[in-house]
Structure 1
Amino acid sequence: MKTFCAPRHLSLATLAASALLLSACTTTPPPPQKPWAECTPASQIDKPAVVRTYPHAKLDPQWYPEGAKFTVVYQFEVTPEGKMGRKNYKPADADPRIIAAIERSFTRWRFKPAISNGQPVTTCFEQPYELIFEDLSPKPAPQAPEKSS
């Protein structure tokens, strides 16, 4: 009768993979990267920027009459003057109508700038937008039960 033993290199590979998996569970993830170099790290900010006004984007429900759900994430900076500076969004292929509506709302956002060492500084934020368009298609009317004679 023959017995089967796994080759030694296979056992070592399994052991190495297990160790790597366990070490990945115990490490801390790297801090999020700043979108622009001028952004002051959160650890150096005494008082964070505060949004004073933030009008909502006006979206037309007719854009997606069958319903849809999207998430667009904006990264933007707040200048020391309390104004919105540079911005970008993900995903890059988002519907241009949605992006235009969000961008229009951004023109009316106002901020109290972040403070570091008593001075206003440039800070950066990430703002997710979860957009849900309800299904507008007509629903069939419920039929009355038939009467039996």
Structure 2
Amino acid sequence: MPAPSSRSDQNFTFQLPRSSLKIAGIAFGIGVLLFLAVWLNARRQNEFYRADPAQPQAETADLAPLPAPLPAGAGASDMPDARPESVEEAPQVVETAPAPPPQPIAETAPAPTIDPAVPAPVAATPTDRPVPLPGQSPPPTYPPAALRRGDSGSVVVRVEVGIDGTALDAKVVQRSGSRDLDRAALDAVRNWRFQPALSNGQPMQAGLEIPFDFKPAQ
């Protein structure tokens, strides 16, 4: 009885059908065609993005030759003198403040007059009555209230002058009808300085009546 043969001695043969070989060949050909199509497409795109060759530069226009230099001398050069151009300064706008409108001129009323009915003070001379000293006997001030009311009148003030020339006592002996005018005349005389009266060359006390006429401005 023959011994059984081992598995290694057995030969297995696998045979593909012809139709399968055809299919594999067709698939291989299709793959090659697809590869070529993709490769050609990629090449075209690379050529599209490739920079164009540099264009040849335009021929440089022929330059006209410079004129020959002229001999040195006045007016030899055709070029204008190289002088700095004068720069015109732009006019500056100076803002000036507008002139103030003219103020209306206030009409000044004429000053009231106060006429003391006594001789004008003169240089001191021997006399038997007191005399007001120049520069030290100013007229009274017209009271503003009396001036607004239009008060006017004459006032007579009697003053007693001492041996030193000062007013010892003063009083109104004739009233004007306005208390303000009477007080103004009295206050003025009390501050006056006098040359005292003289008797045998000696100063003495004496009295003097001084009238004042108050007149408001017309």
Structure 2 length-normalised TM = 0.36
Pairwise CA distance, 1:111: 1.2
Alignment partner for residue 57 of structure 1, among 140, 145, 157?
A: 140
Shift of 1:114: 1.2
Match of 2:35 in 1: none
| 2-structure distance, mates of 1:102, 1:46 | 24
| Mapped partners of 1:92, 1:67: distance in 2 | 16
**Number of the residue aligned with 2:161:** 78
Q: Which has the higher contact order (CA 8 A, sep 6+)?
A: 1
In structure 1, what residue type is equivalent to 2:130?
Answer: A
1:1-149 alignment runs, 5 A limit: 46=127, 48-52=129-133, 53-65=136-148, 67-92=150-175, 94-134=177-217
- Once residues 51 and 116 of structure 1 are traced to their aligned partners in structure 2, the CA distance between those partners, rounded to angstroms, is 17
- State percent identity of aligned pairs: 24
Cα distance in 1 for residues equivalent to 2:195 and 2:127: 13
CA RMSD, Structure 1 to Structure 2 (Å): 2.5
Contact 1:46-1:114 at 8 Å conserved across structures:
yes
User: Shift of residue 62 of structure 1?
Assistant: 4.5
Paired residues in the alignment total 91
Shift of 1:127: 0.8
The structure in which a higher percent of residues are strand is 1
Assess, with a 3 A threshold, how the Cα gap between structure 1 residues 68 and 121 changes in structure 2: closer, same or farther.
same
Is there any run of 5+ residues in structure 2 with no aligned partner, and where? 1-125
Q: Give the match for residue 144 of structure 1.
A: none
Structure 1 SS opposite 2:132? strand
Cα deviation code 1:130-149 (max 9, x no counterpart): 111235xxxxxxxxxxxxxx
Using the alignment, how far apart are the partners of 1:66 and 1:105 within structure 2? 21
- 1:93: how far off? 7.1
Q: Tell me the TM-score normalised to structure 1 length.
A: 0.50
Which residues of structure 1 form unaligned runs of 5+? 1-44, 136-149
Cα drift, residue 99 of structure 1: 2.4
Q: Distance in 2 between the 1:93 and 1:70 partners?
A: 5
**Over residues 28-78 of structure 1, what are the superposed CA-to-partner deviations in whole Å (9 max), with x where a residue is unaligned?**
xxxxxxxxxxxxxxxxx8554331120111113542446343011111111
- Asked if the contact 2:142–2:181 (Cα under 8 Å) also holds between the matched residues in 1, the reply is yes
Offset of 1:109 from its aligned partner?
Answer: 0.7
